[in-house]
Amino acid sequence: MTTRADRPATLDDVARLAGVSRSTASRVIAGTGFASTAARSRVTAAADQLGYVPDPAARALVRGAGVRLAVAASGESAAVLDDPYVEQVVAAAARVGGPYGLGVSLHWLPLAGSTELQRLAEDRGVRGVVLVNTTEPLLAALPRSLRGRVASLGVGSADVPSFDVDNGGGATQVLRHLYASGRRRIAMVAGPHWLPCTQRSVRAYERLARDAGLPVRLLPGDFTAERGRAAAREAVRRWPDTDAIFAVSDPTALGVLAGLRGHGIDVPGDVAVAGFDDIPLAALSAPALTTASHPVGRIATAAATALAEGARAAPITTFPSVLIPRESA
Amino acid sequence: MTTRADRPATLDDVARLAGVSRSTASRVIAGTGFASTAARSRVTAAADQLGYVPDPAARALVRGAGVRLAVAASGESAAVLDDPYVEQVVAAAARVGGPYGLGVSLHWLPLAGSTELQRLAEDRGVRGVVLVNTTEPLLAALPRSLRGRVASLGVGSADVPSFDVDNGGGATQVLRHLYASGRRRIAMVAGPHWLPCTQRSVRAYERLARDAGLPVRLLPGDFTAERGRAAAREAVRRWPDTDAIFAVSDPTALGVLAGLRGHGIDVPGDVAVAGFDDIPLAALSAPALTTASHPVGRIATAAATALAEGARAAPITTFPSVLIPRESA
DNA sequence: CCGGGGGTTGGGAACGATCCCACACCTGAG
DNA sequence: CTCAGGTGTGGGATCGTTCCCAACCCCCGG
**What are B92-103's pLDDT values in tens digits?**
999 999 999 999
Identify which of A57, A322, A5 has the alpha carbon closest to the alpha carbon of residue A169. A322
Identify which of A113, A108, A110, A153 has the alpha carbon closest to the alpha carbon of residue A130. A153
Instruction: Give the pLDDT score at B39.
Output: 86
Q: Which long-range contacts (CB under 8 A, 24 or more apart) does A142-149 make?
A: A142/A117, A143/A117, A143/A118, A144/B6, A145/A121, A145/B6, A145/B7, A145/B8, A146/A117, A146/A120, A146/A121, A148/A312, A149/A307
Cα gap A299→A165, rounded to integer Å: 8
Q: Domains, chain B, ranges and CATH?
A: 11-54 (no CATH), 68-165+297-320 (3.40.50.2300), 167-292 (3.40.50.2300)
Cα gap A294→A154, rounded to integer Å: 13
The verdict on B79 touching A (C-beta cutoff 8 Å) is no
pLDDT in tens, A51-110: 899 999 999 999 988 999 999 999 999 999 999 999 999 999 999 999 999 999 999 999
B166 CA to chain A: closest CA distance, Å? 23
Instruction: Sort out which chain A residues have CB atoms less than 8 A from B251's CB and list them.
Output: 280-281, 284
pLDDT in tens, A127-161: 999 999 999 999 998 998 898 899 999 999 998 99
Instruction: Give the pLDDT score at A273.
Output: 96
pLDDT above 50 for A1: no
Q: Which residue among A101, A124, A284 sits closest to B55, beta carbon to beta carbon? A: A124
Looking at residues B275-304, what average pLDDT do you find?
Answer: 94
Instruction: Sort out which chain B residues have CB atoms less than 8 A from A145's CB and list them.
Output: 6-8
Interface test with A, best of B123, B127, B147, B263 (most A CBs within 10 A): B123
Check residue A157 and give left, alpha or beta (phi > 0: left; psi -120 to 50: alpha). beta
pLDDT in tens, A33-64: 788 888 899 999 999 899 899 999 999 999 98
Above pLDDT 70, what percent of chain A? 98
Instruction: Sort out which chain B residues have CB atoms less than 8 A from A251's CB and list them.
Output: 280-281, 284
Above pLDDT 90, what percent of chain B? 81
Assess whether A218 (CB) lies less than 7 A from strand C: no
Instruction: Give the pLDDT score at A114.
Output: 81
Residue B328 · residue B268 · CB < 8 Å: yes
Average of per-residue pLDDT values in chain B: 92
Cα gap B320→B314, rounded to integer Å: 16
Surface of B (300-329) touching A: CB under 8 A: none
pLDDT above 80 for A3: no
Looking at residues A3-21, what average pLDDT do you find?
Answer: 82
Instruction: Give the pLDDT score at A2.
Output: 39
The verdict on A285 touching B (C-beta cutoff 8 Å) is yes
Q: Which residue among B6, B122, B280 sits closest to A51, beta carbon to beta carbon? A: B122
Asked which of B29-33, B161-165, B188-192 is least confident by mean pLDDT, the reply is B29-33
Cα gap B186→A14, rounded to integer Å: 61
pLDDT above 80 for B73: yes
Average of per-residue pLDDT values in chain A: 92
Neighbour order of strands in the sheet with B126-132? A316-319, A162-165, A150-153, A126-132, A68-75, A103-110, B103-110, B68-75, B126-132, B150-153, B162-165, B316-319
pLDDT above 70 for A5: no
Alpha helix stretches (DSSP H) within A213-249: 225-238
A136 CA to chain B: closest CA distance, Å? 24
A94 and B105 within 8 Å at the Cβ level: the answer is yes
Best-predicted range by mean pLDDT (A30-34, A39-43, B244-248):
B244-248
Looking at residues B160-173, what average pLDDT do you find?
Answer: 95
B306 CA to chain A: closest CA distance, Å? 17
